[in-house]
Every structure is written in C-alpha cells, then in structure tokens.
C-alpha cells in the first residue's frame, strides 16, 4: 500500500510540474476553455483557447481525422511583400492567430500570433463550405452524383415530402433553395443557433430532421439566402452519394494526393456526421495549399 501511495504522489507531483512547465499562456488558455457546446456565444478568451484545440476536447465535440499522405507539397519562399502599411501591426490589432499569403504559389508573408504556431491546427468556420462544395465536384467526376440538376431528395431520402423535395443540387450549393432560414448569429432563437442542438424524433439524422421541418419562403432558384444548414446538407449528400464519411473522401481526393503537410480533422455532430458548413482543423499552410489547389483549377499533377 505504501508503494501505491508513493506512486500516486509521484504522479501528482509530475502533473503539477507539467502544468507549470506548459507556461503561463497555455495555463491561461486552459482556464478559459468553454463548457457550452454552442460556440456562437463564446467569449473572445474562450475562442482563443478552444479554436486551436477543438478536436482535442472530446468533452465538447468529437472529430474524424482527415489523413495526409506520405509526401508534402513544398511551398517555396518568395520575396517579402512590399506594402504601404504595417501588416504586422494589422495582424496584432485584428487579433489574427495566423496569416499566410501565397503569390504565384510562393509564400510572400507568414505570421503567427496569440501563441499559435505553424504546426498548430486552427478551426475553420465558413472556409470549410468551399471545401465541402469542392467535394461535390469530385463526386460528380467520380460518377457518384449524376447531375447538378438532380433533386437533393434523390440522395437524402429524409427530405422527401419536405420543402427541399424538388430543390436541385445546384440550388442547394448556391443557397437559392427558397427554404426559410435565419442565420442571425446574435439571436439564440435563430436557425443557425438551434439546428446543432436539435434532437431527432423521427429516426432521421438530426440535421435532416431539422431541415425537413423548415417552410418554403420563396420559389426555388429565385432568392439567395445565406444558410450554413444547407452546406451541412451538402455534406450529408456527398456522404450518402459516395458511401464514405466526408473526412475520408476529402483525404482521398485532395488532402493526401495534393500533399498537405499534416493530418487535419473534421468536427462531428452528436450523431456522427461531419459538420460540413464549418469546423475543419488544419495547419494554416494547409489552408493556403487548398487555396492554391483551387487556383490550379482543382487539378493534381495535371490530372
């Protein structure tokens, strides 16, 4: 028994030493970690703490890995930017955690702030919408999706009979479905605030259950209305069409073959679906590489 207590005491001492050695910045971050799962209403300090480590906080949310490949696409260093304003001061003033600027495929500016580093993974928000939408193009090319003119309910059966029944894949992609949606981030009763905590009572995935209950506001194709919920539906559509988790398909089509520098991750809804309107954790240079991939017309090694 004495040896057991001695071992426990050693673990406690080691834990205290480790806590002290991580430094004051990380201790401050750890004490600001949020417990509320709805990130829309986190404080600035809570966002600074959590957005660099959300995929390592399983008590808040789970994540699925986006695996990188065995080779890394190099980013050459270009000439420093010659600007007529102090970009370093701008980064500090705007509380940016990281900025990487590519020009002609070369790094012209790179800066890290708020204790963040080039090896860290920061949580994207709507940048992930572009990645999700790009996977639709991959699924069409692979033959999983036949046409942008198909009804989304051909792929998401739970939308049959709802306002989305005759909405096309293209209308969902362009947020012109005409289905009512409130994206007010300051309103706790808005759709964007409520849909992530919706509990399905009809056997459908929680997102599909929520979206299928929304009423029509306009004729499909007539009015653009920004909707994170619709990009989340796009993610489900791609997963249903390909038969693969969205993170796996992203790894296969872009992350590994294009040469991202490290694994990323995609946060999951409570029922295990990638939250495809946001929530990819990746290195800043890998977000920059994705931008370069788009500039290269979404091709890899000429394919």
Tens-place pLDDT, residues 196-239:
888 887 788 999 999 999 999 999 999 999 999 999 999 999 99
Pairing relationship of beta strands 106-112 and 76-77 according to DSSP bridges: parallel
Longest dimension (CA), the chain: 76
Q: At what angle do helices 284-295 and 127-141 cross, to 10 degrees?
A: 50
What values do phi and psi take at 168, rounded to 5? -85, 165
Q: Rounded to two decimals, what is the model's pTM?
A: 0.83
Q: List, in order of start, the domains of the chain with CATH numbers.
A: 145-242 (1.20.58.710)
Question: Taking CA 246 as the corner, what is the angle to CA 245 and CA 252, rounded to the nearest 5 degrees?
Answer: 95
pLDDT, tens only, 180-193: 999 998 899 999 99
Give the pLDDT of residue 104.
93
């Amino acid at each position: 028994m004495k040896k057991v207590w001695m071992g426990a005491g050693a673990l406690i001492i080691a834990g205290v030493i480790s806590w002290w050695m991580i430094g004051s910045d990380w201790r401050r971050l750890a004490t600001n970690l949020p417990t509320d799962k709805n990130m829309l209403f986190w404080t600035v300090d809570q966002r600074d703490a959590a957005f660099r480590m959300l995929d390592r906080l399983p008590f808040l949310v789970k994540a699925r890995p986006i695996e990188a490949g065995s080779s890394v696409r190099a980013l050459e260093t270009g000439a420093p930017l010659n600007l007529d304003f102090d970009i370093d001061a701008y980064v500090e003033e705007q509380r940016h955690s990281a900025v990487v600027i590519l020009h002609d495929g070369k790094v012209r500016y790179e800066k890290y702030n708020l204790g963040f580093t080039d090896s860290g993974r920061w949580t994207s928000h709507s940048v992930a919408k572009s990645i999700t939408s790009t996977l639709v193009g991959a699924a069409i090319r692979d033959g999983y999706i036949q046409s942008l003119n198909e009804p989304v309910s051909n792929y998401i059966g739970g939308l049959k009979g709802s306002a989305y029944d005759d909405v096309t894949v293209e209308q969902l992609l362009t947020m012109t479905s005409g289905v009512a949606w409130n994206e007010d981030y300051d309103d706790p009763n808005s759709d964007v605030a409520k849909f992530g905590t919706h509990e399905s009572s009809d056997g459908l995935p929680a997102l599909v259950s929520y979206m299928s209950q929304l009423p029509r506001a306009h004729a499909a194709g007539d009015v653009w209305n920004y909707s994170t919920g619709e990009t989340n539906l796009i993610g489900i559509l791609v997963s249903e069409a390909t038969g693969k988790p969205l993170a796996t398909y992203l790894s296969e089509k872009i992350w590994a073959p294009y040469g991202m520098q490290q694994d990323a991750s995609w946060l999951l809804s409570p029922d295990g679906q990638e939250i495809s309107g946001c929530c990819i954790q990746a290195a800043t240079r890998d977000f920059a590489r994705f931008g370069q991939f788009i500039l290269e017309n979404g091709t890899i090694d000429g394919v």
